[in-house]
Chain A
Amino acid sequence: MVNDQIVNEIMRTFKIGGVHPQDNKQFSAHRPITECPLPKQAIIPLVQHIGAPAQAVVKEGDKVKVGELLAKAGGFVSANICSPISGTVTKIGDWTDAWGAPGQAIFIDVQGDEWLPEIDRTPDLIRSCTLDPKAIIDKIAAAGIVGLGGACFPTHVKLLSPPGKKAEVLIVNGVECEPYLTCDHQLMLEHGDEIVIGIEILKRALGVDRAIIGIENNKKDAIEHMTKLVQTKLGIEVLPLKLKYPQGGEKQLIDACIGRQVPSGALPIEVGAVVDNVATIYAVYEAVQKNKPLISRVMTVTGKKVTKPGNYSVRFGTPIDEVIALAGGVPVDTGKIIGGGPMMGRAMDHTEGMPANKRLSGLLFLPEAESIRPEEENCIRCSKCVQACPMGLEPYLLQRLNELEMYDEMEKHAVMDCIDCGCCVFACPAHRRLLDGIRPGKAKVGAILRERAAAKAAEKK
Chain B
Amino acid sequence: MKNFIVAPAPHAHSGDSVRRNMLLVILALLPAYVVSVLEFGYGALITAAISVCACVCTEWLISRFLLKEHKQTIGDLSAVLTGLLLAFNLPSNIDWWIILIGAVVAIGIGKMSFGGLGQNPFNPALVGRVFLLISFPAQMTTWPQPAHVDAWTGATPLYYLKYIVKEHANTTAANDVAQSIDSLPDLMQSLLGAMGGSLGEVCALALIIGGIFLICTRVITWHIPVSIIATVALFAACTGWFGGLPEGMDTCHYVGYELLTGGLMLGAFFMATDYVTSPMTAKGKILFGIGIGFIMMVIRTWGNYPEGMSFAILIMNAVVPLLNKFRPTRFGEIKK
Residues on A facing B (Cβ under 8 Å): 15-16, 19, 21-22, 99, 179, 251, 255, 259-264, 266, 330, 334-338, 342-350, 352, 364, 366, 368, 370-374, 377-384, 386-387, 389-394, 396-397, 413-414, 417, 420, 422, 425-431, 433, 435-436, 439
A352→B280 contact, CB < 8 A: no
Q: Residue of A at shortest CB range from B281?
A: A386
Which B residues from 252 to 287 make CB contacts under 8 A with A? 275-281
A346-B9, A378-B118, A422-B9 as given contacts; A334 in contact with B330, CB under 8 Å: no
Q: Once the chains are docked, how many angstroms separate the CA of A366 from the CA of B7?
A: 12
A435→B16 contact, CB < 8 A: no
A413→B327 contact, CB < 8 A: yes
Q: Residue of A at shortest CB range from B331?
A: A391
Query: Separation in Å of the B111 CB from the closest CB of chain A?
Result: 11
A383→B331 contact, CB < 8 A: no
Q: Once the chains are docked, how many angstroms separate the CA of A366 from the CA of B11?
A: 9
Q: Once the chains are docked, how many angstroms separate the CA of A43 from the CA of B119?
A: 52
B138 contacts chain A at the CB level, 8 A cutoff: no
Query: Separation in Å of the B279 CB from the closest CB of chain A?
Result: 8
A378→B117 contact, CB < 8 A: yes
Choose among A260, A334, A386 the residue that contacts B328 (Cβ–Cβ < 8 A): A386
List B contacts of A345 (CB < 8 A): 9, 11
A334-B4, A386-B328 as given contacts; A380 in contact with B9, CB under 8 Å: no
Choose among A344, A382, A431 the residue that contacts B9 (Cβ–Cβ < 8 A): A344
B20 contacts chain A at the CB level, 8 A cutoff: yes
A386-B328, A387-B221 as given contacts; A342 in contact with B12, CB under 8 Å: yes
List B contacts of A259 (CB < 8 A): 336
B5→A335 contact, CB < 8 A: yes
B8→A435 contact, CB < 8 A: yes
A21-B12, A426-B14 as given contacts; A392 in contact with B331, CB under 8 Å: yes
A370, A382, A390, most chain B CB atoms within 10 A? A382
28 CB contacts below 8 A, A to B, read A261-B332, A261-B336, A262-B332, A263-B332, A266-B332, A330-B2, A334-B4, A336-B5, A336-B6, A337-B4, A338-B11, A342-B10, A342-B11, A347-B6, A347-B8, A349-B3, A349-B4, A364-B11, A371-B7, A371-B11, A380-B117, A381-B118, A381-B277, A383-B221, A383-B281, A394-B327, A422-B9, A433-B8
Q: Once the chains are docked, how many angstroms separate the CA of A59 from the CA of B34?
A: 81
B116 contacts chain A at the CB level, 8 A cutoff: yes
B14→A427 contact, CB < 8 A: yes
List B contacts of A21 (CB < 8 A): 12, 14
Choose among A179, A347, A379, A397 the residue that contacts B5 (Cβ–Cβ < 8 A): A347
A349→B12 contact, CB < 8 A: no
B280→A386 contact, CB < 8 A: yes
Query: Separation in Å of the A378 CB from the closest CB of chain B?
Result: 4
Which B residues from 100 to 118 make CB contacts under 8 A with A? 116-118
List B contacts of A352 (CB < 8 A): 1
List A contacts of B329 (CB < 8 A): 16, 392
Q: Residue of A at shortest CB range from B115?
A: A378
B18 contacts chain A at the CB level, 8 A cutoff: yes
B328→A392 contact, CB < 8 A: yes
What mask results when residues 170 to 189 of chain B are scored 1 for a CB within 8 Å of chain A, else 0?
00000000000000000000
List B contacts of A435 (CB < 8 A): 8-10
Query: Separation in Å of the B100 CB from the closest CB of chain A?
Result: 26
Q: Once the chains are docked, how many angstroms separate the CA of A187 from the CA of B3?
A: 32
Q: Once the chains are docked, how many angstroms separate the CA of A366 from the CA of B221?
A: 33
Q: Once the chains are docked, how many angstroms separate the CA of A413 from the CA of B330?
A: 10
Return the 7 tightest CB-CB contacts between A and B, nearest first. A422-B10, A378-B118, A392-B330, A342-B12, A382-B275, A429-B16, A383-B280
Which B residues from 298 to 336 make CB contacts under 8 A with A? 324, 327-334, 336
Query: Separation in Å of the B41 CB from the closest CB of chain A?
Result: 35
Choose among A264, A337, A348 the residue that contacts B330 (Cβ–Cβ < 8 A): A264
A381→B275 contact, CB < 8 A: yes
Interface range, B side: 35 or more
List B contacts of A261 (CB < 8 A): 331-334, 336
B331, B332, B336, most chain A CB atoms within 10 A? B331
Query: Separation in Å of the B309 CB from the closest CB of chain A?
Result: 21
Which B residues from 13 to 37 make CB contacts under 8 A with A? 13-14, 16-18, 20-21
Question: Given contacts A379-B118, A430-B118, could you give 14 more A-B pairs where the C-beta distance is less than 8 Å?
Answer: A262-B331, A342-B10, A347-B8, A349-B4, A371-B4, A380-B117, A386-B281, A394-B328, A414-B330, A417-B332, A420-B9, A429-B14, A431-B13, A436-B8
List B contacts of A414 (CB < 8 A): 330
Q: Once the chains are docked, how many angstroms separate the CA of A335 from the CA of B5?
A: 6
A16→B280 contact, CB < 8 A: no
Choose among A335, A350, A382 the residue that contacts B1 (Cβ–Cβ < 8 A): A350
Query: Separation in Å of the A151 CB from the closest CB of chain B?
Result: 14
A426→B13 contact, CB < 8 A: yes
Q: Residue of A at shortest CB range from B329?
A: A392
Q: Once the chains are docked, how many angstroms separate the CA of A320 from the CA of B34?
A: 60
A391→B5 contact, CB < 8 A: no
Query: Separation in Å of the A144 CB from the closest CB of chain B?
Result: 26
B247 contacts chain A at the CB level, 8 A cutoff: no
Query: Separation in Å of the B285 CB from the closest CB of chain A?
Result: 8
List B contacts of A349 (CB < 8 A): 3-4, 6
Q: Residue of A at shortest CB range from B71?
A: A375
A386-B281, A392-B328, A422-B10 as given contacts; A429 in contact with B4, CB under 8 Å: no
Q: Once the chains are docked, how many angstroms separate the CA of A427 from the CA of B221?
A: 15
A21-B14, A425-B10, A429-B18 as given contacts; A377 in contact with B332, CB under 8 Å: no
B331→A378 contact, CB < 8 A: no
Q: Once the chains are docked, how many angstroms separate the CA of A21 from the CA of B279?
A: 26
B4→A417 contact, CB < 8 A: no
What mask results when residues 185 to 224 of chain B are scored 1 for a CB within 8 Å of chain A, else 0?
0000000000000000000000000000000000001000
B10→A426 contact, CB < 8 A: yes
List B contacts of A439 (CB < 8 A): 8
A264→B16 contact, CB < 8 A: no
Choose among B10, B280, B333 the residue that contacts A381 (Cβ–Cβ < 8 A): B280
List A contacts of B278 (CB < 8 A): 381
A427→B6 contact, CB < 8 A: no
List B contacts of A428 (CB < 8 A): 16
List B contacts of A433 (CB < 8 A): 8
Choose among B11, B118, B221, B281 the residue that contacts A336 (Cβ–Cβ < 8 A): B11
Query: Separation in Å of the A429 CB from the closest CB of chain B?
Result: 4
B12, B78, B221, most chain A CB atoms within 10 A? B12
Q: Once the chains are docked, how many angstroms separate the CA of A390 from the CA of B324?
A: 19
Query: Separation in Å of the A352 CB from the closest CB of chain B?
Result: 6
Q: Once the chains are docked, how many angstroms separate the CA of A324 from the CA of B332?
A: 42
Choose among A335, A413, A429 the residue that contacts B20 (Cβ–Cβ < 8 A): A429
